[in-house]
Copies of this chain bind each other. A is one copy, B any other.
Amino acid sequence: MERTCYYSSSSNPYLTPKEEPKMSSDEKNLIEILEEGHKVDIVKYINYVSAPQAGAIATFSGTTRDMFEGKAVLELRYEAYVPMATRTLTSICTAARSNWDIHKIAVAHRLGPVPVGETSVFIAVSSVHRGDGLDACRFLIDELKATVPIWKKEVYTNGEVWKENSEFLEKRDGLVKREHKRSCCGSKVRVQEDENSS
Shortest distance in angstroms between A106's beta carbon and chain B's nearest beta carbon? 13
Q: Are A63 and B59 in contact (CB under 8 A)?
A: no
Interface stretch of the complex, out of A4-12, A17-25, A134-142: A134-142
Q: Contacts A52-B116, A56-B61, A65-B53 given: A131-B184 contact, CB under 8 Å?
A: yes
A42 within 8 A of B: yes
Interface size of A by CB at 8 A reads 35
Shortest distance in angstroms between A184's beta carbon and chain B's nearest beta carbon? 5
Shortest distance in angstroms between A145's beta carbon and chain B's nearest beta carbon? 8
Interface stretch of the complex, out of A43-51, A85-93, A156-164, A187-195: A43-51
A37 within 8 A of B: no
